[in-house]
Amino acid sequence: MNNITSLTLTETLEALKRKDFSEEELNKAYLEGIEKFNPKLNAFLEVRKNKSGIPAAIKDAIITRGIKTTAGSKILSNFIPPYNATVIENLLEQGVSVLGKTNCDEFTMGSSGENSAYGVTKNPWDLNKVPGGSSSGSVAAVAADLCTFALGTDTGGSIRQPASLCGVVGLKPSYGRVSRYGAIAMASSFDQIGPITKSVDDARLVLEWISGGDNYDSNCRKEKFKIKSLAGTNIKGLKVGVPKEYFGKGLDSGVEKVIQAAIKKLEELGAEVVEVALLHTEYGVAAYYILGPSEISSNYARFDGIRYGGTRNNFGSEVKRRIMLGTYSLSTGYYDDYYAKAAKVRTLIRGDFEKAFEKCDVIVGPVSPTTAWDLGAKTDNPLAMYLSDVYTIVANLAGIPGLSVPCGFSEGLPVGLQILGKQWDEQTILKVGYAYEQATEWYKEKPKL
Amino acid sequence: MQLIKEEVKHIAKLANLPLTSEEEEKYSQQLSNILEYIEKLNQVDTANVKPTFNVSGQSNVMSEDKTIASLFQEEALSNAPKVKDNMFETKGVFENE
């Protein structure tokens, strides 16, 4: 076996079955890669020297029993969870092991990975660029072949956007598909855990592993996501909606070209392209930055430095900013103007999708308006940073699933195609993603480190 | 929407966030910019629209009334900065600091 670490998860499982190599050799190969490349990337915060199991990288915002979990924050610098998140228990049952904990924006608040208290993660395609965020370490680890797959969390785009910027597959499941128990909460009505993988079929398998009912999360749907392998998928006659709101001002022309070519490819594969309208898209970021921070200001009251963690002066500046914004919008006299108003706009955004899905099976467009930007370029301008999530945030407001699939490059940097589906219909977005991936094989491109 | 430094101080107090004078200045500026952007929500007519607070579609989820395993006291206390008599130690509620 010349290169164990370049195999996808499903290929790895087959190779193990054939006894091409042992689990010990598999873990050794990944550990060697981490030793060599992590100093350059800063993707992992903790690494476990396992000898068995399928090595997975877990975003540090997901708690792991006995393994330090900081969520990228100084306030949790010594936190060793006494229990596992439900997704971790589910993975352990499947023979997966925690290879390490990955860097992320502090408490998942950020779009570039630069808000971590433990240093910025670099983009494996260009070490001077951001990897995207907040699941920055998880996407960098998958892109650089430092794990078989990773888990991330997505509250406003934190799986899909970095997956797009680093050229890997990222899936945000429908809200309620995967238990949030043990995911350190950011904004509870938006948070979802999901897979970051080397292929679309891998994302299908990991979603099957981590989905299903959980008594510890009453928003979690009982039915497990389970479909047969995606092999042989055909998308002939499938209706693909293209919203013109995703192709307006702010979209980089290089990214637009790549996305238009990808849509053309779907057409060649037999899909029928229809125009749809998502009229309230431009209000998504504004609504999210009222509702999200409001939930944050309430959730983060739990950090009292009594039961765990340090004192509140250890919060980083983005976390403080969002707590302040939420506290303000919920305070006396402002609730109706801000929180209630934003919650109504959320209804309209949801309605946009319901109407659009009467005309199509999936909606496609860019994940991010640009490719990866220079480190430091947006750190002084929080609003500019927020606007980089304009195409992903709406899916979280509506609770629908979204997939980012590598679809080419603009000036040497990866671009992701976003495929959005009806609530609970991960199956169709995975089918479209798979058909596209098999026809183009962009996923075979690897960064040179 | 302009958020003056005095208001920032007030919000920080409500949120129990210790801020430096420098931070108060910075947040006054940045939060004002963000709120100004958020004003765009006023362009949307929401007169007959109901708010959405939850998108999972689940309601009245019940769980069985039975005892299940939970953390041992030692585990629950394992991350506490201060422990006294096998309990979390906190500041007195009725004492003046």
pLDDT tens string A265-318: 999 999 999 999 999 999 999 999 999 999 999 999 999 999 999 999 999 999
Q: Cβ separation of A323 and B27 shorter than 8 Å?
A: no
What DSSP string runs through A354-396?
HHHTTT-SEEEEESSSSSPPBTTTTTT-HHHHHHTTTTTHHHH
Q: Which residues of A289-307 are buried (b: 16+ CB within 10 A; e: fewer)?
A: bbbbbbbbbbbbeebebee
Tell me the chain A residues in contact with residue B82 when contact means C-beta distances shorter than 8 Å: 306
Q: Is residue A389 part of a domain?
A: yes
Out of B12, B44, B58, closest to residue A176 by CB? B58
Report the distance separating Cα A303 and Cα A261, nearest Å.
47
Q: Is residue A165 part of a domain?
A: yes
Nearest CA in chain B to A286: B38
Hey, is A174 helix, strand or coil? coil
What digits encode the pLDDT tens for the residues A4-19? 999 999 999 999 999 9
Q: Cβ separation of A312 and B78 shorter than 8 Å?
A: no
Neighbours of A275 (CB within 10 A): 11
Mean pLDDT to the nearest integer, A379-408: 95
For B1, the token pair is: 């929407």
Q: Is residue A449 part of a domain?
A: no
In the block, which residue shows the tokens 């109706």? A336
Distance from CA of B89 to the nearest CA of A (A): 7
Q: Which pLDDT value is given to residue B96?
A: 62
For A332, the token pair is: 């006396």
Q: Which residues of A115-138 are buried (b: 16+ CB within 10 A; e: fewer)?
A: bbbbebbbbbbbeebbbbbbbbbb
Q: Cβ separation of A82 and B71 shorter than 8 Å?
A: yes
Of A93, A91, A87, the C-alpha closest to A214 is A87
Chain B touched by A143 (CB under 8 Å)? no
Of A309, A75, A294, A63, the C-alpha closest to A181 is A63
Q: Cβ separation of B41 and A331 shorter than 8 Å?
A: no
Q: Which pLDDT value is given to residue B97?
A: 52
Q: Cβ contacts of residue A150 below 8 Å, gap of 6+?
A: A56, A57, A58, A59, A102, A135, A138, A139, A141, A142, A195, A196, A197
Number of Cβ pairs < 8 A linking chain A and chain B: 145
Report the distance separating Cα A334 and Cα A385, nearest Å.
25
What residue ranges do the domains of chain B occupy?
A: 5-43
Q: Cβ contacts of residue A52 below 8 Å, gap of 6+?
A: A23, A24, A27, A97
CATH of the domain at A395: 3.90.1300.10
- Amino acid identity of B18? P
Test the B interface: residue of A172, A281, A322, A325 with most B CBs within 10 Å: A325
Q: Is residue A377 part of a domain?
A: yes
Nearest CA in chain A to B46: A344
Q: Which pLDDT value is given to residue A125?
A: 98
Hey, is A136 helix, strand or coil? helix
Hey, is A126 helix, strand or coil? strand
What are the mean pLDDT values of chain B's consecutive 10-residue runs (97 residues total)?
Answer: 90 96 95 95 96 92 89 96 95 74
Kindly list the catalytic residues of A. Answer: 59, 134, 158
Report the distance separating Cα B94 and Cα A147, nearest Å.
52
DSSP A178: B
Provide the β-strand partners of residue A123: A126
What digits encode the pLDDT tens for the residues A161-176? 999 999 999 999 999 9
Q: Cβ separation of A321 and B30 shorter than 8 Å?
A: yes
Tell me the chain A residues in contact with residue B56 when contact means C-beta distances shorter than 8 Å: 175-176, 219-221, 399
Q: Cβ separation of B55 and A189 shorter than 8 Å?
A: yes
- Asked whether this complex has an ipTM greater than 0.85, the answer is yes
* Residues A180 and A186: beta-carbon distance below 8 Å: no
Is the predicted pLDDT of residue A422 greater than 50, yes or no?
A: yes
Handedness of CA A370, A371, A377, A379 (dihedral sign): positive
Q: Is residue A183 part of a domain?
A: yes
Tell me the chain B residues in contact with residue A308 when contact means C-beta distances shorter than 8 Å: 79-80
What digits encode the pLDDT tens for the residues A90-130? 999 999 999 999 999 999 999 999 999 999 999 999 999 99
Handedness of CA B54, A392, A357, A151 (dihedral sign): negative
Chain B touched by A84 (CB under 8 Å)? no
Chain B touched by A63 (CB under 8 Å)? no
CA distances from A226 to A208, A427, A432, A437 (A): 5, 9, 17, 20
Tell me the chain B residues in contact with residue A218 when contact means C-beta distances shorter than 8 Å: 58, 61, 63
Is the predicted pLDDT of residue A364 greater than 60, yes or no?
A: yes
Of A281, A288, A254, the C-alpha closest to A373 is A254
Report the distance separating Cα B16 and Cα A35, nearest Å.
41
Neighbours of B67 (CB within 10 A): 5
Q: Cβ separation of B80 and A308 shorter than 8 Å?
A: yes
Nearest CA in chain B to A380: B30
CATH topology of domain B5-43: Histone, subunit A (1.10.20)
Q: Cβ separation of B31 and A321 shorter than 8 Å?
A: yes
* Residues A112 and A121: beta-carbon distance below 8 Å: no
Q: Is residue A129 part of a domain?
A: yes
CA distances from A334 to A186, A326, B1 (A): 22, 11, 12
Report the distance separating Cα A168 and Cα A175, nearest Å.
22
Domains held by chain A: number: 1
Compare A190 and B2 and report the one with higher pLDDT.
A190
State phi, psi for A393 to the nearest 5 degrees: -60, -35
Out of A220, A286, A327, closest to residue B11 by CB? A327
What's the pLDDT band for A239 if we cut at 50, 70, 90? very high
Out of B17, B49, B55, closest to residue A312 by CB? B17
For A74, the token pair is: 């100084």
For A292, the token pair is: 């999200």
Chain A, 370 to 409: residues with Cβ < 8 Å from chain B are: 382-383, 386, 397-399
- 3-state SS of chain B: helix, strand, coil percent to 5? 40, 5, 60
Q: Is residue A35 part of a domain?
A: yes
Tell me the chain B residues in contact with residue A331 when contact means C-beta distances shorter than 8 Å: 11, 14
Q: Cβ separation of A308 and B79 shorter than 8 Å?
A: yes
Report the distance separating Cα A7 and Cα A24, nearest Å.
16
Chain B touched by A231 (CB under 8 Å)? no
Q: Cβ separation of A344 and B76 shorter than 8 Å?
A: no
Q: Cβ separation of A328 and B31 shorter than 8 Å?
A: yes
> What predicted TM-score, i.e. pTM, was given to this entire model?
0.97
Chain B touched by A219 (CB under 8 Å)? yes
* Residues A222 and A228: beta-carbon distance below 8 Å: no
Report the distance separating Cα A125 and Cα A200, nearest Å.
20
Q: Cβ separation of B11 and A331 shorter than 8 Å?
A: yes
Chain A, 23 to 52: residues with Cβ < 8 Å from chain B are: none
Neighbours of A22 (CB within 10 A): 12
What's the pLDDT band for A224 if we cut at 50, 70, 90? very high
CA A166 to chain centre: 11
Range of the domain at A281: 4-444
Q: Cβ contacts of residue B64 below 8 Å, gap of 6+?
A: none
CA angle at A373 for the pair A371 and A374, rounded to the nearest 5° = 155
